[in-house]
Every structure is written in structure tokens, then in C-alpha cells.
Structure 1
Amino acid sequence: MKRQGGTIYNYFKRNRSGLEQISSPGSPHPGTSQESPAESSLSSSPGVRVDRDDDKSQTGTITEECQAQHSPPSSVPSEEGSEASEQDDDPDPEQPEPEDVSSTAFAPSKGPSDISTSREEVPVQPHLSKYPKTLHGTSKRAFNSKWYTNNSWLEYSVSKNSCYCFACRHFSLPNAPDSAFTSDVGFSNWKKALSKEAGFKLHSRSELHINAMYAWSEFKKRKEVDQTLLNALNEKHKKKVQENRQYIKTIAEVLLLTATQNIPQRGHEESQESKNKGNFLTILDTIAKHDSFIQQRLEASGNAKYTSHNIQNEMLQTLADMVQKQIIAEVKESEVFSVMADETKDLKKKEQMSLVVRYYYNGAIHESFLCFQPAETLNAEGLSQMIVRCLERHGLDYRNNLVGQGYDGASVMSGKHSGVAAKIQSKARFAFYVHCNAHCLNLVLVDATKSVPEVVDFFALLQQLYNFISGSYVHLRWLDVQQKLYPSQQPRELQSLSDTRWACRYAACRNLRDRLPAVLKLLQDLSLEKHGERSVLARGLLSQIDLQFLGLLVTFCEVLGDAKCLSDMLQSSTLNLARAVDLVQSLKSTFHNYRNWCTSRQEKATKNKLKIPGLTDDELSRAEKLE
């Protein structure tokens, strides 16, 4: 019968990593152990003893080796089967594919705790300045760290003062017999360590050690290959992730550009054949002309282009969430804050409420838009609940940190008992309500002008002039007249009047005042044409531009100019309440100075019985009413 070690080695050479097919995990086969070559070399050494049972072990020396035959396990091929397998080098076609060495069931390792405990480790080879000596015969001998050089498998236990074989401890089969280098006590016969027929050299020539070293070598090769393959896969994965991030970043930057520039993303026709795919895809195509990677992704087949409207909306929402998180973080850091809210209609005529937070952060006052919310109900209860839910959703402590509210003057918002301001202040006691000063200024101008009929007629005529000159034919004539009268200046357009922001009517009055000669020239030319309705309208408008109209035009250029300056300053995010009060008082003083100047001029004219040239008594009386 062939020796067991040679049979395993030959079978393993043919199957590379199929040790598990001839061995199974578990306890060794019962019976007496077979004598190993390493142990037989120690049997003649005097004073050396080995015991298998822990309770019968002596002082750690080895005196004799167990001489017994080890019956082979059932999984090991028989003698005839072994010879047949050696004659036939080709494996059975129906035999399953052998597994790698990493999945082979090896014998559990033995030994003290200060040496290796698993196959994944390396041999423990401590280098001590002085190793303990033991008595061998008449002389004392000790372990030498130079032995590591020619015996890479060697590892030393400081606690046991013994050495062990790393390969045999971790890569021997479960039914392999123990030797001095795999036992619990280890090998410590330093006198025989370098002997040719004993110690390290004899152990290195044993077939069990050769098998274990071969398995250890294959295990390291497999581990290196797996690590190399894993590194290659990781590098490829990292490159793919980096490319995907770069592509998504490009799309996000294009969306951010279109959002900040307030231009639409999508087009009516976004197919490949379309000549106008919309702003988003057109900008991406322009980038792709200078970036081959972007072009490759856009032209690739599949649905991973991330250019659909759903992806656009998702990315825009993600960007909006990032901005909101930054704003909320700043508000929480500043602690106290105030809110400003107003409702308006969108293009679909749906009511929406916009919410803005005002806070002090990093040495400056910030006003940041927080969100749009659809206004399902427009009563005080519904609007106040919308504001409260928005603050709670973002984790803002409005009960203790909300110190201000700013709305328009509508009763539903500013009601003293049941308005939005009152309902929120009942929950947040420090939320002081302030009526929007810019809105107050607009209401003052509206009420003041509506009380004077001449002023109402003046602005109505101003709007009629804008409507008439905006016509296609008249507008071309208007540009021609300006080029003739003002060749060195850019043409100006008359402005339409705003019903909600009266301070902005200053631009309409200013442009008409600066281009009044061109307006009169245009109306005179059109009134002389033989074009029925257009000529009649031109004569009618020309006849209404009298001295009273000119006086009101000059007056409102001054008044609205000062009011617009105040309106712009009141809307500044850095303006505080004290500064706003000072600006309002300054405008009131300016208007009082205008009135006093007109009154003094009128009194002086009356005292000296002077009459302003070109003004009739009726016009003077109307001027007195304006004052």
C-alpha cells in the first residue's frame, strides 16, 4: 500500500485545488497514529518525551514517539484506486470542477495563543535579544533567530519557548497525524534543530510538510490573483463612478444655469431630428461638441442619459433642497428670525403663497426665499396654518425664535383680532407685526392721486399716449422721429403704467418729459395725414396736451422720483426699522418744502398782483387745489 502522503500529493498535483474531495472536515479517524518521519528522528533522543493526553503530559520534553499504523479514512482512495488514478492523469469528465484552496477543509490549528491562529496571518517570528536556554545533556542551548532565514515556515512561541511549523499547523488535512511541529508543546530540542537526520531538515523533507507547503503556496498565489483581480475591478469601478459623477455634474450645472437665468428647459420637440430641442438639450449638445465623453453618453443607446423631464424635475428639486438646507442651517445658527409672506396668482391662475425668512447671519442681514405653497384657502386660518406648517417642516422653532412678521395691509393678513398676524402671534408671542412700508407708500400715493380729478385725467392721458404710440405703424414713425430729433441718443420707449406699484410710474413720466418734443412732432404729422381714425386720435391727443398737462408732468416727475427713491430703499434687505422711519420723515419734509415753495410763490404773485404768463384764472385756481 502506498504511503498516504504521496497519494495526497499526487492527487493534489492533478487537481490543483481539490483537496476537499479526498478529505472532509471533522475529527481524525479513530485508532493509533502513524509514525511520522520527524517524530521517528526524535525517538532515540534521551530525555525527550511526548504524550498525547494533556493530563499525562510531563515537563514539556519529548522522550518517545507513538509507533502505530493509522487506518486510512473512507474518503481516501484505495491502493488500486490510487494506482489507477496515477496511471490516468486526465480527470474523469463527469467529475465536478474542483474548488480552490481557500475552500479546502484543513485541520484546525493547535498551539499557544502567541503564534498565528489562522491561515490569513503570517508566521510569528519574534526577534529577541536573548532567548531562554534549556539544558540538553551537559550543555544549555537556546533558539536562534537566524533559523528564520532558511525556514520561512518556522514560527516561535515566547510563552512555550518552542517552535512550530506554520504550514503544517494551518494547511494539513484533518486526518494528518501530529508531529512535534504541530503539537501543543512544539519542538524545543535545540541540540537536534540543525541535524541532517532530525529537526528542521528532516521535517522539511517529510511528505506531510511538502503537501502543506504546496497548499500554502497555492493559497498565497490564489490570494494574490484574487487581490489583483479585485484591484482591477475596483479601479474600473472607480473610473466608472467618476465618469458618472462628471456626467451628472454637467447636467446639474446646465439645469442650474437655466434656473438661475430664468429660462425654460424644455422645447416643444426634443427628438434627434428636431432643429430646436429646447434650451437644456441645446446647451448639452454645445458642451458635447467640446467634450467627447459627454457626446458619447448622449449618443449611446439606452435610457441612462438622464435628460428626460422627470430627471430634470428631480435634479431641480434636489438642488432646491440643497439651497433650502443651507438657508435653514443659517437661520438655526442665527436663532432669531422673521417671516414675510404674500399670496399671488401664477400663470395658471392658481393662488400661491411665497414665504421669505429674514435673519442676521455672518455680520449681515439676509432675506432668503424659502418656498412656494399652493394656497387652497385664502382665509386667515388657512394662511396662518400654511406658514406654521412650513416652519415646522423645516425644523424652525417659531414659538421662541420668531420675532417679526411682514405682510401687506389686507384685512385677512393684518386683522387685529382674527388676521394672520394675530393668529401667529397667539402662538409666537415675540412675532411683532410690521406692515410692509413699501406697500404703505404705494397706498398713500394711490389714495392721494385719486382724490384730485385732474391727476386722474393726467394719468389716463399718459396711458392713452402709450397705447397709441405702441401700434405697429405709429411705432415705426415714432422711432424715425426720434432718430431725426435725437441722432446721437438711443431711442426711448414710453412706459405702461403699473396699477400696483405707483412709484414705478416715475419712468413713464420721465420718458415722456424727455421725449415730449418728439411726441408733439409725431402727433402733428399723424394729424395731417388722411387716415381717418388714426388722424382723429392724433388730433384728440394733441389737443389735450396743454399747459395743465405739462405742469402735472413736471410735478409728478419730481414727486414720483423722490417716492421711487424711498420705495427702492424700503425694499432693501439691509434696511432696519429705525432707518426706514428716518427715510419716511425725510420724504415728508421734502413734500412740505415743495408745498411751501409753491405757496410762497403764489402769495408773492397775489401781493404784487402778478400773473403767471400763459395761465388763466381757472388754471390758477386748479393749481391752488393741487397745492
Structure 2
Amino acid sequence: MTLSCDNHCVIEKLLQTPFSSLSYNEKLKIIEEGAPKPNLTLHTKVKSCTRHFNTSLYEAIPWLCGCDKLNKLFCWPCLLFSKEKHVFNSAGYNDINNIYKSGKRHGHSVNHIACLKEITLFGKNRRIEFSLSSQYKQSIEKHNEAVKQNRKFVGQLITAVCFLGSQGLAFRGHDESVASVNRGNYIEVLNMLARYDSDLHNHLESSTAFRGSSPDIQNELIHSVSELMTMEIKKEISKANYVSLILDETSDVMNKCQLASVLRYVTADGNVEERFLRFTDVSSDRSANSLFNHALEILNDFECGPKLIAQTYDGAAVMASQHAGVQAKIREQYPNAIFVHCYAHRLNLVLAQSASFIKEVKVFFATLSGFRTFFAKSTKRTEALDSHLRKRFPSIAPTRWQYHSRLAETVHEYREGIENLLVSIIEEPEEWDVETISSARGLLSLLRDFDFNFMLKIFSSIFPYSGALFKILQTKRSDIAFCNTKIDEFKHHMQRLRGGFDHLWSEMENVFDSNGPTRPKRIRIDSMSGEERKNSYKRLFCEIIDVVCQNVSVRFSENATLLFLSLLDARYFPMYRTSFPEKAFSCLKENYGAFFYFVALKSELLVMFSDPDMAKDSVYDLHQYMYALQLSCVFPQIFKLCELVLTIPATSAADERSFSALKRLKNYLRNSQNQDRLSSLALMNIEKSFLNKLQSKPSFLDEVIDLFAKKNRRIELNYKQ
């Protein structure tokens, strides 16, 4: 008797995939393993007694087999070879009381006898054919040997494609003719590989049917690699419990609006991933309905709509509007998908508004940018800066205050060196032009100005913390609860800084009294006494700090939908031991009631609150702790809650990073590639580490070749049996 059907599920598989569609080797393996004959739980009531299934029935009816998953009996020969459907090869038989009568009738049927003949002769005719026709056998062997060589060659093409795609390099050359010095990276890489592989060299030199260098073949190879990557991403997502959607858009070099799509989830091995999916050209229609349809297409394609628990975009009205925006339309379809306005955008708005609300701050940043402009305008000035300072001023982006902070920190740190350089320029008029000397005088005066240094001192105290917060917000592993904690710390730092004016003022007075720079030049300050002047600057100092604090509080005000994050915040565990957080617990029920068994979750939380070992700095650390010690089976609901919190993105930084890849892949010299090629190359370049992981699998090349071989090719890539 063979193993139970549970081990192989052969009958269940045959009902889904017909025996006739299998390869010869697969058929032979199934027949050699024989019919599954498990002990079933079938029973039939007969008058006052119950007749149960007995395995001796298999001996009485030799062609009988059974499936313990379906709990049915089948005819083994008919299941394999019958072209007609009947109860013994489709639905299954379960009437124990009439099995002998029905079995006798079926065993004498014409169809059953024909199938019995087929299973008896299976393989014998093929072996006779092979023995009678050695030429036929040799032709198959010759074909398979050629396929082996062809697949090896195509594998080398795929290796070249993966290398160029992951590095973001161009494939095509301006002149790809044989006489060209540079035939493009793709052909040149193949020629380089051919120097060390005689088979590849011979194929490239002698092949007339398939050389693999045409633009169409390149596109299909690129598409095959990206298709396999997409399939693997879908496998990862199918094992994830929750998924979040991140969307953002930018303009490429051809002024087309490219929408980047990213999914965030926690993998089965406990890692937080933000997978780039594709670029989509939405230039023709950027309305909320169009972007909503695109989001639905993504969710349906990756079969993750029911798992969607969050969506993150910037603050544009078409995306974030509560009534007609994309986020509102998605919530109508998937109510659990809460909207999170990108935290990095919020922090950028906080700093931008602090500058726009206060005149002195606005003037300060306008003059601060003059330092970089002065040195960047001339190569000679840049060379002098490199020689004296060995440091250049960072570039400024009007929408990225992180760069303003770098400029302020650079001027503050290298203030003395910059001053000495400006003095040397002024004192050597024969070496510099009039414009340079005049501008240097202005910058030197600015650098010695009390007001400018006062503002520089304030923001050099703020920006290191805001810059560190920017980095935390844009880190993939930073969960939203951890980001909220760091934002609270930033607010506390600003409040502490507000009480440090006296220390800052004493530093300013010491520096300016000892070095004797210019006096304060604020309006109506010169005529004031020392104490009045100090109070005036203190009001400005407090105004700057208060504006920043107020904007942080407004922009990052506690969202009612995120109150449940405090359930995993270790800072509150001592308080939760005596008073359970009912509001946060109810918030979780309201937003994600379908995902948890709340009776068990409450018990698990009570245990966690009283366990100091589970008080971790972040949800990520708690999740990794539970994963490493296999505590997911002890606290399954908390483990799921950790995964949910980790899946909620705090920023759309993953989309922002993809824009850098877009600028590399589609530039002035590479602006004619079609959208599919661009999206596929972007996937290979942005998800380089994922591609490298796939390439380490022994089956990678074969899987890509199988996808590539689905179309009719002028080269044989499929083996014969």
C-alpha cells in the first residue's frame, strides 16, 4: 500500500492539472509511485448499523484509490487516462454500501478497459520506439545538447543585462556597427566576456539566427528579469500580513510626470521592506480619479487590497484632500487604510514657515546663501576655498531645508577660516578682479555683523537636531511610533533651548568684545542701553523658538487614528501596569478591529507591560526581540500588532530616493526609451540588493530564460523529453 494522499496530494493535483498535460518524466514518476490507498473515514448508515470503510476494499477492487483530503474513492486508470468524465475520475465516490455493485459495473465499462490498457502499456511503447529508432533518440540528445549551449549563451546575456541594469548604466551606443570604437555598454560587455569564453566568442562571431544584441532582444531580456523580480515581490507580499502604499510624483528630463509606486511590508523573516514597483507616466491626467485608478491597479495586481492598512503621500490637495483626494477615495474602498501625511514634508514645512513668518530670519537665510553663490560663481574662488578651507559649501534646494541647515552649520563651523580667506582676497587686489574684491568686502562685513552671527548662533543650535530628525524620518527601519518619539524629543529640546538665551548672549558678548566686530545694526537698537538691547534680542530669540515649537505642535499634533501606537511605547509601560490604556485599545479596535482577537491581545499586553525585558526603545527592536526568541507563538497578537505598526510608513522617502534613480536612468542622452523599459530598469537599479539576492539562487538564470522563452524564438531554449 502506498503512502497516504496527504503526503503527495497526487489526486488533488491531478484533478487540477490533467495527467495528459504533464511531461513524460512526470507521468512516469506518478505511475511508478502507484495509486494512493489511504485509510479513509467514509461511513454509510444501513438500517440500524453503520458501515465503515475498510482498507481491504483496495485488495478486492485493484483499480481503486483514495484521497484522504477529499475523503473520496477514485478509479486510478480512469483518473490518469480517461477522456470522459464520470464519478470515479472527477467528483469521487463515497457510497460504501453500494461500492461493490458500482465498482463491478464500472470495471466492465469500455472506457475503463481502455484506460486500464493505457496504464499497462505506458512507457513500454516508448521504450520500444527508442530501441527500434536509435536515430530518433540521437536527434533528441542532439537537440538537448544544443539547447544546453543556447541556454548557457542566453544566461550570459542575462548576466550582462543584470550588471548594466543594477548599475544604472546605458545599454545602447550611438554607433553599434562593427567598425565603431564604442558599440555601447551592452555589446562591449559581451565582447569582454567573450575574451574569456570561447563558446561565447564563437557564438557571437558565427551566429546568424540569434546574436542577442538587437534592441528588441535587449528589451525582452530586461522585461524578463523585471518580470521575475515582480513575481518574487508578489510572493513576499503574499506571505505578509499587512501592506502600505506610498505614492509620489516628479518630472523627468522630458517634462513627463512620473508617478513612483512603493509597497511597504514586513517579510516572513522579520525584515521591513519598502519595495519599488514601477514608474507610471501620468502626464495626460493627474486628477484624483486617475491616480486612484492607478492605486487600485497596483493593489489588484499584487493582490494586497484586503491587507492595505495605510497610505502615505505628500500634502498635495489631489492626494491628501479629505473629501475628493486619492486618500479619501482609497478609504472608501479599503476603510482600514489610514492616511499618513509624510513626516519629512511636515518637518520641512515647519522650518520653512519659521523663516517666512519672521522678517529677520527671512533676511538671514537670503544673505546666508550668498556665501555659496560667491564661491561657486568662479573656478578661481572655488580653488581658493579648496586650498584654504578644504571644504566646500553645500548646495541649496529651495524645498529641502535639510540643505539650508548644512550651509548654516558649515558657515558656523568654518567661520574663522572663511573670514581669513576673505581678508586675503581683499588684501591682494592685484590677484582678483573688482567684482570679487567688492563681494568679498560685503561678505566679510556680513560675517563680522552682530545680527548675522546672532542668527547663525541660534540656528546652529537648532539645525543639528532637525538634521538628525530628518535622517531618522527617512530611514526605512524607523517605524512611525519611533518617529513620533523622536519628534517629541525634538520639541523638548526646543523648549530647553528657549531657556538658554543668557548662555547664548554671554557667548556672543565675549566673542564680540574680544574681537571687536561691528555693533548690532537692528533698527532702533543702537540708541538702547545694554539691558534694553539684550531684552530686544531675547524677544527675537524667543519668537524664533516659539514659532518653531508652535509649528511642530500643529503639524505633528496627535492624530486620533494613531493613538493605538502608545500601546507599544515602553515609556508608558509603568503607568499601564496600574491603569490599562482603554482609549488606545479602543482606537485599535476602531481602525483595525478585523485583524485582531482583542480578548487575547489584552491579556498579552498585560503580560508585556509587567515584563521589563519587553520594554524596548522602538517597535522594531521589540519585533526583532520576539522574532529572535520565537515569542511569536507566545504573543501572537502582539507580534501582529508590531508588524502592523512597522508597516505604517512615516514618510514617502522611498519614493524620493527613486527619483534619484530616475535622473540617472533618463537623462539628456537617454531620453528616448519607452516607459516599460524605463520602469524595468528602474526596478533593477533601485532594488539592486533584491536582484543580487535572486542572482545568488542557482535557478535564477533558468527561471529568467523560461520567461524569455515563452515567445517564439529563433533559438531553441526548451528541452525535449
Distance 1:223 1:379 in 2: 66
**TM-score of the two chains, using structure 1 as the length reference:** 0.59
Task: Identify the residue that residue 717 of structure 2 maps to in structure 1.
Answer: none
Q: Displacement, 1:369?
A: 1.0
Give the superposition deviation at 1:588: 0.6
Letter in 1 for 2:472: M
Amino acid at match of 1:572: T
Cα deviations by residue, 1:468-496 (Å, 9 ceiling, x for unpaired): 212222222222334xxxxxxxx322111
Aligned residue for 1:538? 440
1:474 to 353, 360, 381: 381
The Cα of 1:379 is off from its aligned counterpart by: 1.9
**Which structure shows the bigger proportion of residues in helix conformation?**
2
What's the CA shift string for 1:482-540, capped at 9, x where partnerless?
4xxxxxxxx32211112222123333333333443443333333334242223222222
Cα distance change of structure 1 residues 241 and 610 upon mapping to structure 2, 3 Å threshold:
closer
**How far apart in 2 are the matches of 1:386 and 1:339?**
12
Residues 333-342 or 593-602, more deviating: 593-602
1:345 paired with 2:251, answer yes
In structure 2, C-alpha distance between the alignment counterparts of 1:573 and 1:345, rounded to whole Å: 24
| Between 425-434 and 500-509, the greater mean CA deviation after superposition | 500-509
Higher relative contact order (CA 8 A, sep 6+): 2
Query: Does the aligned pair in 2 maintain the 1:404–1:431 contact within 8 Å?
Result: yes
- SS of residue in 2 equivalent to 1:277: coil
1:522 aligns with 2:421: yes
Q: Does 1:506 align with 2:409?
A: no
Check the 8 A contact 1:452/1:626 in 2, yes or no. no
- The worse-fitting range, judged by mean Cα deviation, of 436-445 and 267-276 is 267-276
Q: Using a 3 Å threshold, how does the CA distance of structure 1 residues 548 and 261 change in structure 2: closer, same or farther?
A: farther
| 1:626 maps to 2:535 | no
Report the alpha carbon displacement of residue 225 of structure 1 after superposing the two structures with TM: 6.9
Q: 1:327 to 1:612 in 2, by over 3 A?
A: same
**CA displacement at 1:300 relative to structure 2:** 2.8
- Check whether the contact 1:437–1:570 (CA below 8 A) recurs between aligned residues: yes
SS in 2 for 1:353: strand
Q: Relative to structure 1, is the Cα distance of residues 431 and 535 closer, same or farther in structure 2, using a 3 angstrom cutoff?
A: same
Equivalent of residue 493 in structure 2, options 590, 595, 611: 590
Distance 1:266 1:523 in 2: 48
CA deviation profile, 1:250-273 (whole Å, cap 9, x unmatched): 221222122222222222222222
**Aligned counterparts of 2:340 and 2:124: Cα–Cα separation in 1:** 74
Distance 2:130 2:293 in 1: 64
Residue-by-residue CA offset, 1:50-89 (whole Å, 9 max, x unaligned): xxxxxxxxxxxxxxxxxxxxxxxxxxxxxxxxxxxxxxxx
Give the alignment's TM-score, normalised by structure 2.
0.51
Superposed displacement of residue 623, structure 1: 5.4
May I ask how many residue pairs the two structures share in their alignment?
401
Deviation at 1:430, TM superposition (A): 0.9
Structure 1 match to 2:300? 392
SS for the counterpart of 1:349 is: coil
Partner of 2:200: 294
Deviation, structure 1 residue 558: 3.3
Cα-to-partner distance string for 1:553-580 (whole Å, 9 max, x where unaligned): 3433332221121112112222223222
Kindly provide the amino acid, as one letter, of the partner of residue 382 in structure 1: S
Rg comparison, structure with higher value: 1
SS at match of 2:261: strand
Q: Distance in 1 between matches of 2:263 and 2:281?
A: 18
Per-residue Cα deviation, 1:432-478 (whole angstroms, up to 9, x for no partner): 11111111111111111222333323332332222221222222222
Distance 1:335 1:611 in 2: 59
Shift of 1:599: 5.3
* Superposed CA RMSD: 3.2
Kept after mapping to 2: 8 A contact 1:463/1:496: no
Spell out the pairing of 1:97-112 with structure 2 (5 A cutoff): none
**Does structure 1 residue 556 correspond to structure 2 residue 462?**
no
Q: Deviations over 1:108-144 (max 9, x none)?
A: xxxxx99xx99x979xxxxxxxxxxxxxxxxxxxxxx
Shift of the 520–284 alpha-carbon distance from structure 1 to 2, 3 Å rule, reads farther
Q: How far did 1:389 drift?
A: 1.9
Q: Of the candidates 125, 129, 143, which is equivalent to residue 237 of structure 1?
A: 143
Alignment CA distance shift 1:550-1:244 (3 Å): farther
Deviation at 1:415, TM superposition (A): 0.8
The 3 A distance-change label for structure 1 pair 121 and 497 is: closer
Q: 1:259 aligns with which of 156, 165, 171?
A: 165
Structure 1 CA distance for aligned equivalents of residues 512 and 386 of structure 2? 36
Measure, in 1, the Cα distance between the counterparts of 2:325 and 2:347: 21
1:370 aligns with 2:277: yes
> How do 1:120-269 residues align onto structure 2 when only pairs under 5 Å count?
224=131, 226-227=133-134, 229-269=135-175
- Determine whether 1:305 maps to 2:208: no
1:242 aligned counterpart, secondary structure? helix
Partner Cα distance (1:258, 1:327) in 2? 21
Indicate conservation of the 8 Å contact 2:458/2:541, yes or no. no
Maintained 8 Å contact 1:563/1:587 = yes
**Percent identity (aligned):** 26
Question: How far 1:277 moved relative to its partner?
Answer: 2.6
User: Counterpart of 2:312?
Assistant: 406
Could you say if the C-alpha distance between residues 378 and 280 of structure 1 is closer, same or farther in structure 2, counting changes exceeding 3 Å?
Answer: same
* Cα pair distance change 1:476/1:323, threshold 3 Å: same
Give 1:600 shift.
6.9
Give me the whole-angstrom Cα distance separating, in 2, the residues matched to 1:294 and 1:611. Answer: 72
What residue is the counterpart of 1:380 in the other structure? 288
Tell me the secondary structure at the aligned position of residue 418 of structure 1. Answer: coil
